[in-house]
Chain A
Amino acid sequence: MILAKIAWRSIWRNPRRSWVLISAVAIGVFTFVGVVAYIDGLSVQLIRTAIELRGGHIQISGTGYFENPALRTRITGMTEVAQILDNFDGLRFAAQQRASGMISSAEQSAGITVVGVDPAQEEYVSPIPTLMVEGEWLSGDAEAGEVIMGTALAERLGVLLGERVVLMVSDLAGDVSAGAYRIRGLFTSNSTEYDKRHVLMHESAMDALTGFPPNAASTFAIILDADQDIRQVSAALRGALSEKNVEVLTWLDRSPMLVMMDEMMNLTNVILVVILFTAIGFTLINSFIMVIFERIREIGIMAAGGVRPGQVRLLLFLEASFVVLLGAGVGIVLSAGVLGWWSAVGLDLSAFAEGLSRFGAGTVIRPYVNIGRMASGFALIFVMAFLAVLYPAIKASRFKIVDAMNHA
């Protein structure tokens, strides 16, 4: 307690130096929180886009579909699978039919994936119904002959809302099947790649186009509630569906590039944190060497009075800890203010819209605070502070008392 008192009061002996140190730590914490929250925000957005647009947290498909997404590799007994999924709490699902094909306007053609959906069910698993920028989401009328597509694809084809396009796919029998459809709605998602390559239509219209049998689906997209553990649920699903000829894949299994990108971002965070805190560490080392140099005599007096070498080290660690705590406190308050504002308005990166959209990120990035990562960052600051003070502290605890007391 007395050592803590000495440490605390010692900080204020040279307030200017202490405030410089506290500011260095505060700026470090602020930069750390800001950059990590930005990178995590970007990462979360990429992952969310991948999950929402590309099959959900977990995707069920016919065995081998992921390797070779052919029309014939399908889930038969769709209703039975849906009934099994109904028994699970904390998830939402929708069945989809998928086929590769071509879309043509009067002017242009493009290779696309046609996705047949149940319009009502799809709203539970996909953000597309909420991303309509022109027209409307699919109606429940299977006979309407309507499709929706991304604005990017419409621009490429040179078509407008309400105009007709021709879809051509290879049906289940291997024959070419085609139909003309009116554009009911246009959407814009975070991913221009998705927008350019996907056309959605009513599942019954899709069945008619592809010859897909009733009670069959290419995939089930499953979205989990926030409190669900993806690995546990996928394992449970594999068990429950073991007698069906299906594969259960999480987004981690399906998107190794995204996983790698996420890991790269994590690594970038770690490198950044180490560089940042090493710089702070050197500032601390420098200052504490000065502190010790100024207090050699005092340390000698304390040692003469019975303060053990370990207590001398503890004194300096406490002093560094107080500086770091104050700096971290100021940094956190500053970060909380800026992150609060940033969360509300978002960071507008419209200038990089095209590049970001290719990766599946929107133009407005909002910070994401990963408590675990922040906590490890703060723990790292203390480790850095400990390491930074280690050398001066050891040096101070090894002073020859007589020499220290005679120090001018």
Chain B
Amino acid sequence: MPDPFLVEAEGLVKVYRDRSHVPVRALDGISFAVAPGEFTAIAGPSGSGKTTLLNLIGSLDSATAGTIVVAGQDLSLLSRRARAEFRLRNLGFIFQSHNLIPVLSAAENAEFSLLLQGMPARERRRRVLAEFKDLGIEEELTRRRPAKLSGGQQQRVAVARALVSRPKLILADEPTASLDSKTGARLLDKMRDLNMRTRITFLFSTHDPMVIDRARRLVTLRDGQIASDETHA
């Protein structure tokens, strides 16, 4: 029987030391699960542990205690190399600032993960152009480097990069923070539309009301613990 959850976290604890070497408990025993196809926002005030939780789910960081299983894989059992491979095959990331590779063009940035996966050039090209079209990225922008793109264009390329490999889960950390509200809303609608069409799971870390309004599930964190977990119709 297939696993009903894409993400399962159990008793997740993350303690790190701040600049004065004082231990800070960023996550304090969080347990929650995400089912495939969800469009979920993790909200909460600054320092509540949103980004830390997203980083742990994305295998970008290791938990101090507890277990986290993503796509059936216990992340604590993976080596650095295996984690990289896992991220490549299963996850897509959208970060607050666009984080494109500056020496690659928009199209090359978007196809980066496909190249690492060894996908043939024709298929890569087809997928990237389709994704760009879907996200409203004009063909003339495909050859431009990130420095020659506006903030909104860069973020759309970042979304295309996350989507193009059809990952099981997309983790978006404050994806609208660097965008004006109009561009942010348009991008979110696009992601929501993609979620409906492709059943790709989206997990946002945010305190942007635009994201929260569009999320079907809202998990609120406070002081490293889940304060509320609501599902909207």
Contacts and interface: CB of A to CB of B under 8 A. Distances in A.
Interface of A: 1-2, 5-6, 9-10, 13, 297-298, 301-311, 400-402, 405
Given A2-B108, A401-B60, A402-B55, A301 B85 contact: no
A402 B88 contact: no
Nearest to A11: B103
B81 A305 contact: no
Interface stretch (B3-11, B111-119, B184-192, B197-205): B111-119
Contacts of B88: 305-306
B58 interface: yes
B103 A308 contact: no
Contacts of A304: 58, 60, 87, 93
B17 interface: no
B177 interface: no
A301 B98 CA distance: 10
A306 B161 CA distance: 12
A301 B108 contact: no
Contacts of A310: 81
B210 interface: no
Contact of A305 (B61, B87, B103): B87
14 contacts: A1-B115, A2-B104, A2-B116, A9-B104, A13-B102, A298-B101, A301-B99, A306-B85, A308-B81, A309-B84, A401-B60, A402-B55, A405-B60, A405-B99
B197 to A, nearest CB: 23
Nearest to A406: B51
Contacts of A307: 84, 116
Given A6-B103, A298-B101, A400-B61, A305 B85 contact: no
B95 A6 contact: no
Contacts of A306: 84-85, 87-89, 91, 113, 116
Contacts of A13: 102-103
A363 B91 CA distance: 72
Contacts, number: 64
B126 interface: no
A405 B81 contact: no
Contacts of B58: 304
A304 B80 CA distance: 11
Nearest to B104: A6
Shortest 8 CB-CB contacts between residues of A and residues of B: A306-B88, A9-B103, A2-B115, A308-B84, A301-B99, A401-B60, A306-B87, A402-B61
A301 B95 contact: yes
Contacts of B55: 402
B128 to A, nearest CB: 13
A402 B85 contact: no
Contacts of B61: 400-402
A207 to B, nearest CB: 83
A88 B193 CA distance: 88
Given A2-B108, A400-B61, A401-B61, A309 B81 contact: yes
Contacts of A309: 80-81, 84
- Max chain A CB contacts within 10 Å: which of B60, B61, B113, B161? B60
Interface string B49-61: 0000001001011
A401 B95 CA distance: 13
B93 A305 contact: yes
Interface in B52-88: 55, 58, 60-61, 80-81, 84-85, 87-88
A269 to B, nearest CB: 39
Which of B89, B93, B116 has the most CB atoms of chain A within a 10 A radius of its CB? B116
Contacts of B85: 306, 308
B88 to A, nearest CB: 3
B200 to A, nearest CB: 16
A279 B219 CA distance: 57
Query: Which of A9, A304, A307, A310 has the most C-beta atoms of chain B within 10 angstroms of its own C-beta?
Result: A304
Contacts of A308: 80-81, 84-85
Contacts of B104: 2, 5-6, 9
A34 B81 CA distance: 45
B60 A6 contact: no
A1 B103 CA distance: 14
Given A2-B115, A305-B93, 20 more contacts: A2-B104, A2-B112, A5-B103, A9-B104, A13-B102, A13-B103, A298-B101, A302-B101, A304-B58, A304-B93, A305-B112, A305-B113, A305-B116, A306-B89, A306-B113, A307-B84, A310-B81, A311-B116, A402-B55, A405-B99
Nearest to B173: A405
Nearest to B100: A301
B109 to A, nearest CB: 10
Contacts of B112: 2, 305
A10 B104 CA distance: 10
A402 B93 contact: no
Nearest to B89: A306
B116 to A, nearest CB: 6
A301 B113 CA distance: 12
A246 to B, nearest CB: 68
Nearest to B96: A405
